[in-house]
Amino acid sequence: MANLPSAILRTIFAPLVAIAASGILFGATNAGVLGSSRLVFNLAAERQFPRALNRVHGQFRTPYIAIAAFSLLAMLILVPGFFAAGFFADLGALYVFGSLLCFAIAHASILSLRIRRPDIPRPFKLGWNIKVLKRELPLPTILGLLLTSAVWIIVVLTQPFSRLTGFAWMVAGLVIYYFYRRRAGLPLTQTPTIETHTEV
């Protein structure tokens, strides 16, 4: 009888949690694929990626090649999960590894700009700023950097698959990037922006 209330709560909330989690995961997957394609689109404009990924569809005005490439890549990554038990759990942990690292770098970039370029016009400024060495630093960004970095470190220490695969992926990306830029005759850190190619 003592466990009756918790059993009732589990019966009521378990389906609701499953539905909410499915919706959240669907939204996160959609945002991940579309966000990645648009990121690649912008990187291609800076010659960080091949120019083909910078093409925009004439009618829909979307980077259709980048979207198709990342959708295909996402489907291929899922294939091993149908044959290996526990793969999807490892893949989820790997996603956390990458997303937390991206969030931490984004927070650090905001702080870096506030420190190095305090003179940049900022039509919108986040509240709760604190002054450090005459620089206004947003407190939410500082907390975001600390928290995302802390959780990322925990993932690195506790998830062997994420740790090995994540760092291997990053090293492979740096190597591919190095040879791509050298083959294109471009410097590693600076390049002129190219015009977006729109399909007619």
Shared domain for 92 and 153, answered yes or no, is: yes
Q: Is residue 1 part of a domain?
A: no
Shared domain for 62 and 113, answered yes or no, is: no
The total number of structural domains in the chain stands at 2
Residue 119 has a pLDDT of: 84
Shared domain for 100 and 140, answered yes or no, is: yes
Q: Is residue 198 part of a domain?
A: yes
Residue 165 has a pLDDT of: 92
Rounded-to-integer distance, Cα 18 and Cα 6, Å: 17
Q: Is residue 52 part of a domain?
A: yes
Rounded-to-integer distance, Cα 183 and Cα 170, Å: 20
Q: How confident is the model at residue 5 (pLDDT cuts 50, 70, 90)?
A: low
- CA-based torsion, 22, 27, 29, 30: positive or negative: positive
With vertex at residue 59, the alpha carbon angle to CA 55 and CA 65, rounded to the nearest 5 degrees, is 30
Residue 17 has a pLDDT of: 76
Q: Is residue 173 part of a domain?
A: no
Residue 172 has a pLDDT of: 94
Q: Is residue 64 part of a domain?
A: yes
Shared domain for 96 and 128, answered yes or no, is: yes
Q: Is residue 174 part of a domain?
A: no
- Taking every pair of Cα atoms in the chain, the longest distance, rounded to a whole number of angstroms, is 74
Q: Is residue 34 part of a domain?
A: yes
Shared domain for 75 and 90, answered yes or no, is: no
Shared domain for 26 and 77, answered yes or no, is: yes
Shared domain for 35 and 68, answered yes or no, is: yes
Q: Find the domain containing 199 and state its range.
A: 8-83+188-200
Shared domain for 79 and 90, answered yes or no, is: no
Q: Is residue 178 part of a domain?
A: no
Shared domain for 33 and 90, answered yes or no, is: no
Q: Which of 35-49, 50-64, 71-85, 143-157 has the highest mean pLDDT?
A: 143-157
Shared domain for 76 and 100, answered yes or no, is: no
Shared domain for 114 and 59, answered yes or no, is: no
Percent of the chain exceeding pLDDT 70 equals: 91
Let me know if 58 is exposed, middle or buried by CB neighbors in 10 A (0-12, 13-18, 19+).
exposed
pLDDT over threshold 50, residue 200: no
DSSP state of 199: P
93, 106, 152 from 162: Cα distances, Å? 6, 20, 10
Residue whose structure tokens are 């959780």: 151
Rounded-to-integer distance, Cα 151 and Cα 107, Å: 14
CB 56 within 8 A of CB 199: yes
